[in-house]
Amino acid sequence: MSLAIRTEGLTKVYRGVTALRDLELSIEQGDAFGFIGPNGAGKSTTIKILATLVRPSGGVAEVCGINVQRRPESVKPLIGYMPDVLGIYDDMLVGEYLEFFAAAYRIRGQARRQKIEEVLELTDLVEKRDAAVMGLSRGMGQRLGLARCLLHDPQVLLLDEPAAGLDPRARIEFKELVQELRRMGKTLLISSHILSEIGEMCNTIGIIEQGRLLFAGPIDEARKRLGTERIVMLRIVEDAEDNRATTALMELFRGHPDVEAMKPGAPGEVFVRIRKDLEDISFLARDVVRDGLQLVHMEETALSVEDIFLQVTKGQVA
Amino acid sequence: MALPGLLRILLVPFLWAWDVAAGMRAVMERDFLVFTSQGRFLAIRTAAVVIPAIVVAAVLMNKAGATPDSIGKSVLLGATVTVPALVLLLAPALSAGAIAGERSTDTLDIVLAAPVRPLSFVLAKFFSRLLVVLVLVFASLPISSIALVYGGVSVGLFLEATALALGFAVFGVAAGILTSAYSRTVGGAVLGAYALVLLLPALWLAGVALVFSTFFDAVPGDVALSWLALSPYFAWVQTAGSIMGIGTATSGGWLQLAVAAIGAVIVLIVATARISRESATRARGGGKRRRGKHTMFLDNPVIDQAVRGSLLRRPRMPAWLVLAVALIVEALILWAAFEDGADDWELHVIALCVITTIASFQVLASAAGAVASERKSGSLDLLLATPFRYGDVTFGKLCGVLLGVVPLMAIGVIHGVVALPATEFTVQALCAWLAVSGVVLTLFAGIGMRVSIGAATPGRAVLKTFAIVFGGTVLHLVGLFLVAIIVGGGDDEIFLYITASPALLMWMAPMFVADMAADAGSNSSNETVLAASALWTVIWGIVGGHLMARAGRALDRSRDDA
């Protein structure tokens, strides 16, 4: 599959301060790439370079195989850029705002009107067409920003902190919108602080700190590489106040050759650390049932994006 | 039981005043202390001392060997000319951002949500800025008080001259607070404040003079003079005359201070009412909602955006105000010209040059805010991420800025065409006015745009642009004053020097062309001035064109520090 975004040795220095250092990034077409890192890590700088807004100090950045620095005019129609602020013009209505940018993307006449209708419907903003842009809520504003990005049907969407400041409902709606865009075959680069949502929206991630890319790749691969231990959560029925069943469960696996450690959780819950190379873990359920304990739930806990981020930014991955 | 009730009633005004003062304190402390701790305050304070000092030093050099009385009078005259001019230049700029700045940064909501009365807020804004300006006035007092050492002027006259400067300070700050209360942007507030400060006294002078000369020929001169003395400009000239022993012994400085104080009280009431209304509207969650089909100006979004708010596209209050001022000036001058029955060209050229001056204010403010306001709202990145090239964006913005003043210039053209058959005003003068105005407005648009590209906020961009253009003109005039005193020189040299300033060129060039055409002849002096005007018009045209052409590149370069 061809690459939608590629950077090689990308560097940006602002008045002696290195914001980005030798960034190597490869994002395939159709991927949803979650770009995570603390404040000032270089996420927005990377996105702005890809959006042709910032000139890199060194290295190469390409969008769909086109050099961003050499041919910015060819790159612009391919990208939809959504910054962390809405970027409003006061005294404009939603319809005017979209018309303004449609004209900027040289969409004219009937095609312009049609395109505006399409994006208004996609982002569920038809009712807000005559509302003032300044009066929109944060969630509505983000939708409008996305509508603006989609006007010229770009192949790559660069979304800088799109979910910041959204209430829970707006976040869910925004997530659904992103899923819809993925189904449409768009490539998305999403920077965010809300790591749990990156895990749900993206299939690949990049972790950046102090301008250096610490990890980039599929989330599953990150889990495999970073998952130094395997933990299985077992939940049984616990009636007694003295946690008799839980104690019995812990006693059951104490000294088991495949179990490395155990830790009680809430009443009736035990977290069992098993050997990393173990293929078959069905013995856990079998032994519990055989011992007469009532098993309710059993689940191997996967590393969350937060766990991956914390591990990576601790310097555990070179 | 009756006594406590009566006590309560008696205490109400005191409690209310206490509450207002408590609200004022927080806002005032923040504003005054923050402003005076900034580096720019040090620079302004230094300028407030250095510029009068240079003028006084030049006077002392020129007056070497003169009598002490003559030196004292000249020193006070120099200070009386310079200090109020500096106050008029600085006070609107320092005060216009007071409320509009809070509105544009969305901090007004936070302040209004706190238990601060709108009256406390407005009073605090007014007095914090007035204090800053007063610091500047008092900083220059040691310079002007040198006059008392030499003698020739009474303490009373010295105090009158000081009162005039204080009156100017109150007038300038009040004008800034008034426009700030109504403007959504700092740039608009600054523009409005300068328009008020510069044009209101002139309109008063013109209007009163016209009314008395037209309708009240029988009115005694003293009465007419009293009315004229209400204008700060008249009082300024009157004070200068009093110092030099011309005219009346009293200068009108105290009257000016009293008039400015009354005006300030009215302004504070109006501004408080405005903030109270705004606070109530926000509390209701109000806001305007428009409907209607949208049409794009020239189908170019950049130009469309740039002309918004001007007379060509959804005019806002400042555009209507500018139009009203232009029409009032036009009406007064046309009325005066035709009532007088004179067929002279002077009044018509003055009318056209006033139009250009108003247009240049608009161009400077619009160009200065063009890019900076987009950067502040975050829309600049969105625009630059579209297929528009950087040059397209700056060119579109400049076109929009210049198109915005086309209706104003059209008023001037109509005036000129109407005046042509009836007076000595000529086609050459009209063409000269159009050509020089076009060049100067292009230059100002280019300067504003370049400042805007490098500025972080529109307020700073507008202030910097005005400082460059008007500060440059003031420095040019101070330089001219010094050259005339120290080096001397004939009229030719002086006029050559005058026309080098774009702000003066746009007045001088049409005047000379009209004068030459009306006289149907020329002399060497006129030819020299005309040649100098043509030369500077070409030079400034090239500079303006260069600034416009390179604006796109400047915006592109700003990517390095984005």
Q: List all residues 6 or more positions away from B546 whose beta carbon is below 8 Å from its beta carbon.
A: B446
What domain count does chain B have? 2
**Share of chain A residues as helix, strand and coil, in percent rounded to the nearest 5:** 35, 30, 35
B533 within 8 A of B436, measured Cβ to Cβ? yes
pLDDT of residue A10: 95
* B314 lies in the same domain as B431: yes
Selecting from B290, B382, B560 the residue whose C-beta is nearest the C-beta of A87 gives B382
Q: Which of B160, B103, B98, B156 is nearest to B131 (CA)?
A: B98
Q: What CATH number belongs to A3-225?
A: 3.40.50.300
Residues of A within 8 A of B306 (CB-CB) are none
Q: How far is CA A258 from CA A278, A291, B232, B278, in A?
A: 8, 18, 95, 71
| A271: contact with B, CB 8 A cutoff | no
Helices (H), B405-501: 406-422, 427-454, 458-466, 472-486, 491-498
Assess whether B93 and B130 both reside in one domain.
yes
The confidence score (pLDDT) of residue B491 equals 64
As given in the structure block, the two tokens for residue A209 are 């700190």
Residue B254 neighbours by CB under 8 Å, 6+ apart: B160, B163
- The pLDDT score that the predictor gives to residue B309 is 83
Using CA of residue A97, residue A99, residue A102, residue A103, what is the dihedral sign? negative
Single-letter residue type at A177: L
Report pLDDT for A316.
42
Q: Is the pLDDT assigned to residue B217 strictly greater than 90?
A: no
Do residues B206 and B123 touch, judged by C-beta distance below 8 A?
A: no
Report the alpha-carbon distance of residue B339 to residue B331 in Å, rounded.
Answer: 12
| Beta-carbon separation of B386 and A76 below 8 A | yes
- Both structure tokens of A105: 């993307």
Distance of CA B355 to the CA centre of its chain: 14
For chain A, 318 residues long, the average pLDDT of each consecutive 10-residue run is 90 90 94 90 93 92 94 92 84 88 88 92 90 86 91 94 81 86 92 79 90 88 72 86 86 88 87 81 89 88 75 56
Q: What is the pLDDT of residue B282?
A: 62
Query: Same domain, yes or no, for B430 and B556?
Result: yes
Contacting residues for B60 by C-beta, under 8 A, at least 6 apart:
B71, B75
Q: Which residues of B touch A90 (CB under 8 A)?
A: 184, 377
> What is the tens place of the pLDDT at every residue in B308-339?
888 888 888 778 888 888 888 787 777 777 66
Q: Return d(Cα B163, Cα B256) in angstroms, integer.
A: 8
Inter-chain residue contact B560 with A55, CB threshold 8 Å: yes
Q: Where are the domains of chain A?
A: 3-225, 228-302
**Averaging pLDDT over each range in B21-25, B49-53, B397-401, B424-428, which range is the top one?**
B397-401
**Residue A149: closest C-alpha in chain B:** B382
Q: Which of residues 102-131 of A touch B (CB under 8 A)?
A: 103-106, 108, 130-131
Residues 6+ apart with CB under 8 A from B50: none
A-chain CB neighbours of B562 within 8 Å are: 48, 53-54
Residues B210 and B253 in one domain: yes
**Among candidate residues B283, B317, B348, the one where a domain is terminated:** B283
Question: Which amino acid is residue B196, in one-letter code?
Answer: L
**pLDDT tens digits along A181-230:** 989 999 999 998 777 778 888 999 999 988 999 889 998 787 777 666 77
Q: Out of A54, A99, A130, name the one closest to residue B296 (CB).
A: A99
Give the DSSP letter of residue B245: T
| B112 belongs to a structural domain | yes
Query: At residue B218, does pLDDT exceed 60?
Result: no
pLDDT value for B442: 94
Q: Minimal CA–CA distance to A206: which of A60, A36, A64, A21?
A: A36
Contact call for B301 and A103, based on CB within 8 A: yes
Interval B418-442 mean pLDDT: 87
B346, B258: one domain: no
* A88 inside 8 A of chain B by CB: yes
Distance CA B359, CA B361 (A): 5
> Which of A53, A73, A93 is opposite residue B290, by nearest beta carbon?
A93
Give per-residue pLDDT as tens, B509-561. Answer: 888 888 777 665 556 667 777 888 888 899 999 999 999 889 999 998 887 76
Helix locations, chain A, DSSP H: 43-50, 72-75, 94-104, 109-122, 138-150, 168-183, 195-201, 219-226, 244-253, 283-290, 305-313
* pLDDT-based confidence at residue B68 (cuts at 50, 70, 90): confident
Residue-number span of the structural domain to which B68 is assigned: 20-283
- Span B433-443, average pLDDT: 94
Compute the distance between CA of residue A93 and CA of residue B290 in angstroms, rounded to an integer: 8
- Number of C-alpha atoms within 13 angstroms, CB side, residue A97? 30
Q: Where are the alpha helices (DSSP H) in B244-345?
A: 253-284, 301-307, 317-340
A171–chain B Cβ distance below 8 A for any pair: no
Say if residue B278 is in the same domain as residue B316.
no
With beta carbons less than 8 A apart as the criterion, state whether B390 and B396 touch.
Answer: no
Q: What is the pLDDT of residue B172?
A: 92
Are both B475 and B358 inside the same structural domain? yes
Nearest C-alpha neighbor of B87 from the set B232, B251, B289 = B232
Q: Is B257 among the domain residues?
A: yes
Four-residue CA torsion sign, B436, B439, B442, B444: negative
- Residue B437: pLDDT band by 50, 70, 90 thresholds? very high
- pLDDT number for residue B343: 64
pLDDT class of B223 with cuts at 50, 70, 90 = low
SS (H, E, C) A12-29: EEECCEEEEEEEEEEEEC
Q: How high is the pLDDT of residue A279?
A: 76
Decide if B4 is inside a domain.
Answer: no
Which DSSP category does A158 fall into?
A: E
Closest CA to B476 of B452, B508, B514, B431: B508
- Count other Cβ atoms within 10 Å, centred on residue B490: 10
Residues B279 and B311 grouped into a single domain = no
pLDDT, tens digit, for every residue of B169-188? 999 999 999 999 988 788 78
**pLDDT value for B356:** 92
Mean pLDDT, range B46-74, rounded to an integer: 85
> What is the chain B residue with the closest CA to A58?
B560
Q: Which residue of B has its CA nearest to A96?
A: B294
When pLDDT is averaged across residues B379-388 and rounded to a whole number, the result is 91
**Does one domain contain both B272 and B417?**
no
B51: which residues sit within 8 A by CB, 6+ positions away? Answer: B82, B86, B478
pLDDT given for residue A317 in this prediction = 41
Residue among B299, B308, B560 minimizing CB distance to A103: B299
What is the average pLDDT across B143-170? Answer: 89
CATH number belonging to domain A228-302: 3.30.70.100
Please state at what angle helix A244-253 crosses helix A283-290, rounded to 10 degrees.
130
**Helix or strand holding residue B9 (H, E):** helix B2-36
Dihedral angle of Cα B102, B104, B108, B110, to the nearest 10 degrees: -110
What residues contact residue B350 under an 8 Å CB cut-off, 6+ apart? Answer: B333
The pair of three-digit structure tokens given for residue A135, joined into one six-digit string: 């009066």
Say whether both B379 and B411 belong to one domain: yes
Q: How does pLDDT run across B123-142, given as a tens digit for each residue?
A: 999 999 999 899 888 988 88
Number of inter-chain CB pairs under 8 A, A vs B: 92
Q: Specify burial of residue B310 (Cβ count, 10 A radius: 0-12, 13-18, 19+).
A: buried
DSSP B22-48: HHHHHHHHHHHHHHHTSHHHHHHHHHH
Residues B171/B90, Cβ–Cβ less than 8 Å: no
Provide the CA A203 distance to its chain's centre, in angstroms: 8
pLDDT score at A159: 94
| pLDDT value for B116 | 77
Q: How far apart are CA B513 and CA B530, in angstroms?
A: 7
In a domain, B253, yes or no: yes
Same domain, yes or no, for B267 and B177? yes
Same domain assignment for residues B261 and B345: no
Interface of B with A (CB under 8 A): 184, 287-291, 294, 296, 299-302, 304-305, 308-309, 314, 316, 377-389, 559-562
Best probe of the A interface among B379, B380, B397, B561, by most A CBs < 10 A, is B379
A109 to chain B: nearest residue by CA? B299
Among the partner residues B301, B382, B559, nearest to A54 by beta-carbon distance: B559
Nearest to A96 among B288, B294, B309 (CB): B294
How large is the angle between the packed helices B232-243 and B155-182, nearest 10 degrees? 160
Neighbours of B327 (CB within 10 A): 12
Structural domain ending residue among the three candidates B223, B248, B283? B283
CB B380 within 8 A of CB B371: yes
Residue B456 lies inside a defined structural domain of this protein: yes
Name the residue in chain A with its Cα closest to that of B302.
A104
**CA B243 from centre of chain:** 27
- Separation in Å, CA of B555 to nearest CA in chain A: 11
Distance CA A23, CA A42 (A): 10
Strand order through the sheet with A58-63: A17-28, A3-14, A58-63, A66-67
pLDDT at B247 over 70: no
CA pseudo-torsion sign B95, B96, B99, B101: negative
**CA atoms of B364 and B25, how far apart (whole Å):** 36
Q: DSSP labels for B160-218? A: HHHHHHHHHHHHHHHHHHHHHHH-SSHHHHHHHHHHHHHHHHHHHHHHHHHHHHHH-TT
Give the pair of three-digit tokens for residue B241.
Answer: 């005359």
Which pLDDT belongs to residue B341?
62
Binary contact (A77, B387; C-beta < 8 A): yes
Shortest Cα distance, chain B CAs vs residue A246, angstroms: 54
Domain contains B317: yes
- Alpha-carbon distances, residue B106 vs A105, A123, B111, B526 (angstroms): 31, 28, 9, 55
Determine what percent of chain B is predicted with pLDDT higher than 90.
Answer: 18
Which pLDDT belongs to residue A151? 93
pLDDT of A13 reads 92
